[in-house]
């Protein structure tokens, strides 16, 4: 399914850096929110940060980027806060499961110290 968006209600859309605009548009999928409003822009940002942290990324949009895009609408289905939290928790739980599996396979064992490291403390 394509990501469709409409910025006709965003003040100064043409003055926003195109890369920043695109980042906010794609962040609507991470936030599970199809619209940015004055009332929900902080929740949008919180969700985006939570998702980024769950996948070990630094947030790709700032609060200022989100504020600048108030009025943006996309075809992303907006979920409740609880549904988004479940999604982020599931991502984190999958990462924990993968880490434990890798540890059992021996991938996370510390490397033995070299003689030089041992003598240097």
Interacting residues of 73 by C-beta distance below 8 A, sequence separation 6+: 5, 6, 7, 9, 34, 35
Q: What is the pTM of this model?
A: 0.82
Q: What are phi and psi of 113, to 5 degrees?
A: -70, 145
Residue spans of the chain under pLDDT 70: 109-121
Is residue 13 within 8 Å of residue 73, measured between CB atoms?
no
What is the 8-class DSSP label of residue 4? -
Structure tokens at 34: 């199809």
pLDDT of residue 40: 98
CA distances in angstroms from 30 to 10, 85, 110, 115, listed in the order given: 20, 11, 34, 47
């Amino acid at each position: 399914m394509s990501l469709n968006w409409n910025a006709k209600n965003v003040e100064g859309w043409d003055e926003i850096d195109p890369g920043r605009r695109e980042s906010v548009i794609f962040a609507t999928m991470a936030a599970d929110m199809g619209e940015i409003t004055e009332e929900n822009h902080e929740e949008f940002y919180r969700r985006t940060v939570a998702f980024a942290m769950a996948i070990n990324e630094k947030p790709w949009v700032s609060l200022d980027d989100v504020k600048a895009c108030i009025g943006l609408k996309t075809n992303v289905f907006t979920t409740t806060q609880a549904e988004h939290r479940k999604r982020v928790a599931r991502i984190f739980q999958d990462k924990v499961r993968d880490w434990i599996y890798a540890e059992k396979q021996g991938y996370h064992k510390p490397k033995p110290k070299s003689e030089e490291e041992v003598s240097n403390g």
